Amino acid sequence: MQAEIITIGDEILIGQIVDTNSAWMAKELNGIGINVGKITSISDQEADIVNSLKQAMERVSLVLITGGLGPTNDDITKKTLSDLFEMNLVQDDFLFAKVEQRLGQRGIPMNRFNREQALVPDGARIITNNHGTAPCMWFEKDGKVVISMPGVPFEMKGIMQDEILQSLKQHFSTPVILHKTVMTQGIGESVMAEMLEDWEGNLPACVKLAYLPSPGVLRLRMSLSGDNLAELEKIIEEQLSALKKIISANIFGYDDEPMELTVAKLLSDKGKTLGTAESCTGGKIAHLITSHAGSSSYFKGGVVAYSNGVKENILGVNGEDLEKYGAVSQQVVEQMAIGARKVLNTDYAIATSGVAGPDGGTQEKPVGTVWIAVAGPNDLISNRFDLYKNRERNIQVASLNALNMLRNLLQK
Amino acid sequence: MQAEIITIGDEILIGQIVDTNSAWMAKELNGIGINVGKITSISDQEADIVNSLKQAMERVSLVLITGGLGPTNDDITKKTLSDLFEMNLVQDDFLFAKVEQRLGQRGIPMNRFNREQALVPDGARIITNNHGTAPCMWFEKDGKVVISMPGVPFEMKGIMQDEILQSLKQHFSTPVILHKTVMTQGIGESVMAEMLEDWEGNLPACVKLAYLPSPGVLRLRMSLSGDNLAELEKIIEEQLSALKKIISANIFGYDDEPMELTVAKLLSDKGKTLGTAESCTGGKIAHLITSHAGSSSYFKGGVVAYSNGVKENILGVNGEDLEKYGAVSQQVVEQMAIGARKVLNTDYAIATSGVAGPDGGTQEKPVGTVWIAVAGPNDLISNRFDLYKNRERNIQVASLNALNMLRNLLQK
């Protein structure tokens, strides 16, 4: 069962907005056995919408469209689809009342733009949007299904979860698609390919393998398609166990579980708490950890110690050592970790201090030099990393390496 | 001058990776007068690559391709393009030496996969990739240009900046494209459309207007295309000044300058420093600020006060008030801001405390309740915000609102 996604909006084509909708939708569709064969981003122009949709409908039996449903004049998706499917726009009284009520709650009176939002094509099935005022439309023609949703990510996600995914499962009978992703660190792509050459060569024909490198992490993904779920699961299990024999120490998780959640589970299982003392990572580690619900049970807090004053006053780093060794040094980062553990009253603390760039490097400590320390009840470990020239990448990879050092300590 | 972008990789189509390359490329191409008409994401399959590329070449004279150039077996872009353009793969000695050298620096011996990376189509212009081992290829056929680049974002960006953009400018003669984006907050999309109805109706025909809503920010973008740069700039200037007469107080910046940079400039101009005390935003505000080079000149540090213990011990929040009013209260958030200013030794401090969700809400303080305070040399202001049900969105919007409160105070 193949589908395509079309995202509409000039903002995507001029690079003002990254299309995050498609990835989210593709993942959810995969979960119910629907494969996405193509993703197309086009502008808010009638000819582009009509041509792209017609081509997609020739190739597949399901097309999901997002964008172009706002109340303003640049949004033309509804009118274009209504014309294409030879329907008329008529007022939907239920939708009208809802728009009126939502605006009323915020004390905003109904205007022309809002009234137009309550118009819908008379032959489409209208799907309730509990997250905004734009209508969501389900068209059917010649056995093909076309669904038009708003482009605002949380509205689209809400509608998909509330109704669309369920409706699609009922409408189409689909094969089973399984993905298993293995999260690894510490081995680069080509070395990994060589280590796995025999294993990869002996994979059953129904398994497709992909290497997915990203800063600090290399993911290996096995994709399987078939009719029998139990059979596919058995194949994955066998191949995973063979893979573990080769690279077990480098696997930190599965199925896109990020490093901070691996660490969170280890902390929770042991009933231990964590604090952070961040200089070069500037709050990124705390942000990664607290992005996840429930983090307050193991994360007590952190200190973003950007200035030397904060390192001394809050974390208790020795002023003479700061002077003598510099902020980016083993001595200082270890004192930051020890100090954070104490002042935040936690079992473990992570500390980072480095030159994130693009400026601030010296010959001895060029941009990309990062010291990381982890302090625990019985341990104090520290490492120097020589990372990159790029600030964003340094912050990302240093945060990941810091969490990985803690993971190794917790799994010892 | 129209171009299209094709991104290749199963990881995009199953939603494992968000395609951020296209937005970045589109923006850069716009900057040199090249318009992107369509972005297509396809799988690592020969037929898909060939068909999509052929169709794109019928529509436009420039196609940029990323992805599928890795050393592993799932990457087939180079072979497919070489076949399509009827070329042969031959070893590039310069590239071979480079791959060998790069691996050598890391103590990794050359293997079969690396050797294959040094193979290139004999009729393509090979563009140096200073950021990795995959080759970048420039094909020409029937007056059309096709460029194939690696999919790893920092490699692609590096190659584009080092050489491709310059080469494209020389190769094509292009019209001028101008975009002006106005960053606003505090007015929703439909109310804004009504306020701007007259202004929008009187825009010159060469100006296209778009409303771009995102959590906490509404961007208005004017796009102009023509031959005369000075003329277009004059039109933008006139329209901007008319727009400012309508919504001046809600404009915080231009051209995608994020809120934290607006605040950074205000702080730098006044020679003032900032600190943060974050509970519900968990380090996000510090992370936003420190993402930018040079932030250490105005940002001294922050405290991520997730537990009440940290609020008391480091920020000096009164324990009885914590008990009496709860952590999510005006009393506590104001004490956090005052305490942060003191302990971080800064001119200004921002504090947040709220229920980010999805759990932890009560009838009195449901999920989405956020208190924010800003303390300055002569001011202490605080506001309650009733935000959303979604954790990620709450963290994002609360961070933005906090920075905006500081902006308003600094601009007073």
B27 CB neighbours in chain A (<8 A) are: 14-16
- Choose the closest CB to A211 out of B70, B114, B345: B70
Angstroms from B371 CA to nearest CA on chain A: 18
Q: B286 and A282: CB-CB below 8 Å? A: yes
Picking from B171, B195, B224, the residue at the C-terminal end of a domain is B171
| Confidence class for position A412, pLDDT limits 50, 70, 90 | confident
Q: B194 and A345: CB-CB below 8 Å? A: no
AA letter at A197:
E
Examine the pLDDT at B381 and tell me if it is beyond 90. Answer: yes
Displacement of CA B34 from its chain's centroid (Å) = 20
Contact by Cβ (8 Å): B189, B218:
yes
- In chain A, % of residues over pLDDT 70: 100
The two three-digit tokens of residue A270, written as one number: 């042991």
Candidates B233, B246, B189; CA nearest to B212 is: B189
Q: How far apart are CA A394 and CA A283, in angstroms?
A: 13
Q: B12 and A23: CB-CB below 8 Å? A: yes
AA letter at B316:
G
Closest-CA residue of chain A to B74: A210
Picking from B254, B284, B314, the residue at the C-terminal end of a domain is B254
Torsion angle, alpha carbons of A198, A202, A203, A205, to 10: 140
**Residue B33 DSSP symbol:** T
Q: A145 with A194, same domain? A: no
Q: A140 with A211, same domain? A: no
- Choose the closest CB to B345 out of A40, A112, A309: A309
Task: Give, for B104, the enclosing helix (H) or strand (E).
Answer: helix B93-105
Q: B179 and A296: CB-CB below 8 Å? A: no
Q: B108 and A190: CB-CB below 8 Å? A: yes
Q: A26 and B18: CB-CB below 8 Å? A: no
Q: A306 and B309: CB-CB below 8 Å? A: no
- Choose the closest CB to A111 out of B13, B194, B359: B194
Angstroms from B154 CA to nearest CA on chain A: 9
B74 in any annotated domain: yes
Candidates B337, B304, B314; CA nearest to A287 is: B304
Angstroms from B193 CA to nearest CA on chain A: 6
Closest-CA residue of chain A to B214: A152
Which residues face B176 on adjacent strands? B226
Closest-CA residue of chain B to A358: B293
Q: B193 and A309: CB-CB below 8 Å? A: no
CATH (domain of B201): 3.30.70.2860
| Helix, strand, coil percent content, chain B, rounded in steps of 5 | 45, 25, 30
- Choose the closest CB to A15 out of B27, B212, B344: B27
Q: A121 with A200, same domain? A: no
- On average, the pLDDT of chain A sits at 93
pLDDT score for A130: 86
| Total number of domains in chain B | 3
Which residues face A4 on adjacent strands? A38, A63
Q: B307 and A301: CB-CB below 8 Å? A: yes
AA letter at A248:
S
pLDDT score for A307: 97
pLDDT score for A1: 87
> Strand, coil or helix: what is B66?
strand
What is the mean pLDDT of the segment spanning B182-195?
89
CB pairs under 8 A between A and B: 332
Instruction: Tell me how many degrees the CA angle A287-A361-A327 measures, rounded to the nearest 5.
Output: 60
Q: A303 and B305: CB-CB below 8 Å? A: no
Q: A314 and B310: CB-CB below 8 Å? A: no
What is the mean pLDDT of the segment spanning A181-202?
91
For A311, residues 6+ apart whose C-beta sits below 8 A from its C-beta are: A279, A305, A317, A322, A327, A332, A336
Q: A192 with A52, same domain? A: no
Examine the pLDDT at B173 and tell me if it is beyond 80. Answer: no
Angstroms from B191 CA to nearest CA on chain A: 8
The two three-digit tokens of residue B299, written as one number: 């940002």
Diameter of chain B measured on Cα atoms: 79
Contact by Cβ (8 Å): A235, A207:
yes
Which residues face A184 on adjacent strands? A218, A251
pLDDT score for B153: 92
AA letter at A210:
A
B262 in any annotated domain: no
Q: How far apart are CA A206 and CA A227, in angstroms?
A: 11
- Choose the closest CB to B282 out of A74, A117, A287: A287
B263 in any annotated domain: no
Contact by Cβ (8 Å): B226, B232:
yes
Q: Nearest 5°: phi and psi at B29? A: -65, -45
B326 φ/ψ sector (left φ>0, alpha ψ -120 to 50, else beta): left
Q: A117 with A16, same domain? A: yes
Which residues face B386 on adjacent strands? B369
Angstroms from B196 CA to nearest CA on chain A: 11
B64-74 per-position pLDDT tens digit: 999 998 877 77
For A269, residues 6+ apart whose C-beta sits below 8 A from its C-beta are: none
**Residue A71 DSSP symbol:** S
Examine the pLDDT at B368 and tell me if it is beyond 90. Answer: yes
DSSP string, A204-251: -TTEEEEEEEETTEEEEEEEEEES-HHHHHHHHHHHHHHHHHHHGGGE
A260 in any annotated domain: no
Q: What's the pTM? A: 0.79
CATH (domain of A300): 3.90.950.20
Q: How far apart are CA A271 and CA A265, in angstroms?
A: 10
Q: B22 and A19: CB-CB below 8 Å? A: yes
- Choose the closest CB to A19 out of B19, B304, B343: B19
The two three-digit tokens of residue B199, written as one number: 């202004």
pLDDT score for B120: 94
- Choose the closest CB to A343 out of B36, B210, B313: B313
A113 CB neighbours in chain B (<8 A) are: 190, 193-194
Q: A109 with A180, same domain? A: no
Candidates A355, A411, A352, A356; CA nearest to A382 is: A352
Q: A306 and B296: CB-CB below 8 Å? A: yes
CATH (domain of A128): 3.40.980.10
Q: B102 with B200, same domain? A: no
The two three-digit tokens of residue A145, written as one number: 């299904």
Angstroms from B210 CA to nearest CA on chain A: 6
Examine the pLDDT at A145 and tell me if it is beyond 90. Answer: yes
Picking from A153, A171, A189, the residue at the C-terminal end of a domain is A171
**Residue B124 DSSP symbol:** S
Q: A301 and B300: CB-CB below 8 Å? A: no
For B128-261, list the strands marked E by DSSP.
136-141, 144-149, 176-184, 207-214, 217-226, 251-254
Q: B27 with B139, same domain? A: yes
Q: B250 with B284, same domain? A: no
> Strand, coil or helix: what is B141?
strand
- Choose the closest CB to A71 out of B193, B284, B286: B193
Q: Can you give the residue range of the structural domain that contains B69? A: 2-171
Q: A304 and B303: CB-CB below 8 Å? A: yes
B189 CB neighbours in chain A (<8 A) are: 70-72
Give the β-pairing of A207-214 and A274-278. unpaired
B342 in any annotated domain: yes
The two three-digit tokens of residue B120, written as one number: 């290139």
B90 in any annotated domain: yes
Closest-CA residue of chain B to A99: B190
B170: number of Cβ within 10 Å = 8
pLDDT score for B300: 98
Q: B10 with B137, same domain? A: yes
Q: How far apart are CA A43 and CA A46, in angstroms?
A: 9
Give the β-pairing of A136-141 and A144-149. antiparallel
Q: B233 with B379, same domain? A: no
| Confidence class for position A133, pLDDT limits 50, 70, 90 | confident
A223-269 per-position pLDDT tens digit: 888 888 899 999 999 999 999 999 988 899 999 899 999 999 999 99
Q: Is the peptide bond before A358 cis (omega within 30 degrees of 0)?
A: yes
Displacement of CA B203 from its chain's centroid (Å) = 29
Examine the pLDDT at A111 and tell me if it is beyond 90. Answer: no
Q: B28 and A16: CB-CB below 8 Å? A: no
pLDDT score for B107: 78
pLDDT score for B124: 96
A21 in any annotated domain: yes
A36 CB neighbours in chain B (<8 A) are: 13-15
Q: B239 with B92, same domain? A: no
A88 in any annotated domain: yes
Task: Give, for A252, the enclosing helix (H) or strand (E).
Answer: strand A251-254
